[in-house]
Amino acid sequence: MKAVNIKWDIDEDYKADDLPTEVAIPNEVLEISSGVVLSSQEIYETRIEQISNYLSDEYGFCHKGFDIELERKDVVQYALDAGTGINYYDGETTDKEINSCGENVRYVDSVTVDSFFDNDNKNLQYAIVSGMCLLDYDEWQAIKEVFNADLSYDDASDIICTLWEYYDRSPLDIPDTENAKTVKEAVGIEDLSLKDEKFINDILQKYDCSYEMSSEKEKE
């Protein structure tokens, strides 16, 4: 989440260029005290106030307002927390995906994401990553974490499809493989073929993230 279009309340002796107009907001700033029961609107208003206080405390100046820019994951998580626009099946989701997640997987309707907070406050902005279903988005984030690389969605999808199609493995099921030296170790698949290992490694090299190749003897 970011505060954007920040309008600082400064006097003429201070240059506005010395203060940022966009600031990324740390997650801890958005936390609500445990045990406090609030409605979804009250949660939103509380977070806006916390962001406002953070900006003033961090930069030493008051402000005359700011806009909020949310990524899709922020809107999705807010909708899930508030129970807004939820369904249990996405039309683009395959039976295999449904079966792998069980009955309780929840999706946020794309129309909800697109129109969330579409009320009298016209300053709110939303940077929607895409219209992908929540499972696709979660798997994309999971494979990025596995390889500690900022993979594009297309490159991540190529890897994810390989794992699903040939090894029936979701990135969400990959154990912690932080110290892995090979792709095979990173994805936790002992019978990963050399062909698939090379395919994945070639993608990772575009992100300066390569692994050692398993030896032919090891594959025998």
Residue 35: the pLDDT is 66
**Same-domain pairing of 122 and 100:** yes
Residues 122 and 215 in one domain: no
> Do residues 8 and 113 both lie within one domain?
yes
Q: Tokens for 30? A: 């958005």
Encoding tokens for residue 75? 């809107």
Measured CA angle at 200 (ends 189, 130), to 5 deg: 105
In this structure, the answer to whether residues 121 and 144 fall within a common structural domain is: no
Q: Are residues 181 and 198 in the same domain?
A: yes
Tell whether 95 and 41 lie within a shared domain.
Answer: yes
With a pLDDT cut of 70, the percent of the chain lying above it is 60
pLDDT of residue 220: 43
Residue 172 has pLDDT above 80, yes or no: yes
3-state DSSP of the chain? CEEECCCECCCCCCCHHHCCCCEECCHHHHCCCCCCCCCHHHHHHHHHHHHHHHHHHHHCCCECCCEEEEEHHHHHHHHHHHCCCEECCCCCCCHHHHHHHCCCCCEECHHHHHHCCCCCCCCCEEECCCCCCHHHHHHHHHHHHHHCCCCCHHHHHHHHHHHHHHHCCCHHHCCCCCCCCEHHHHHCCCCCCHHHHHHHHHHHHCCCCCCECCCHHHHC
Last-in-domain residue among 109, 127, 145:
127
Name the domain boundary from 77, 105, 127: 127
pLDDT score recorded for residue 160: 94
Of these ranges, 103-107, 130-134, 151-155, 189-193, the one predicted with the greatest mean pLDDT is 189-193
The verdict on 34 and 85 lying in the same domain is yes
Residue 75 pLDDT greater than 80, yes or no: no
Q: Is the pLDDT score of 61 beyond 70?
A: yes
Q: What's the pLDDT band for 210 if we cut at 50, 70, 90?
A: confident
Q: Are 193 and 156 in the same domain?
A: yes
Beta 125-127 vs 86-87: how paired, if at all?
unpaired
Are 67 and 148 contained in the same domain?
Answer: no
**Do residues 119 and 174 make contact, with C-beta atoms less than 8 angstroms apart?**
no
pLDDT of residue 34: 63
pLDDT tier at 84, thresholds 50, 70, 90: low
Rounded to an integer, what distance in angstroms lies between the CA atom of residue 46 and that of residue 64?
A: 18
At which of 78, 112, 127 does a domain end? 127
Confidence of residue 76 (pLDDT cuts 50, 70, 90): low
Considering only residues 220 and 37, tell me which one the structure prediction assigns the higher pLDDT: 37
Range of the domain at 77: 2-127
Are 65 and 166 within one domain?
no
Q: Is the pLDDT of residue 103 over 60?
A: no
Q: Do residue 88 and residue 35 come from a single domain?
A: yes
Q: Token digits for 151?
A: 């993979």
Number of domains in the chain: 2
pLDDT of residue 116: 55
Quick check: 39 pLDDT over 90? no
The reported pLDDT for the residue numbered 176 is: 79
As a whole number, mean pLDDT of residues 63-69 equals: 84
pLDDT, tens only, 132-141: 555 677 788 8
Answer yes or no: do 93 and 189 share one domain: no
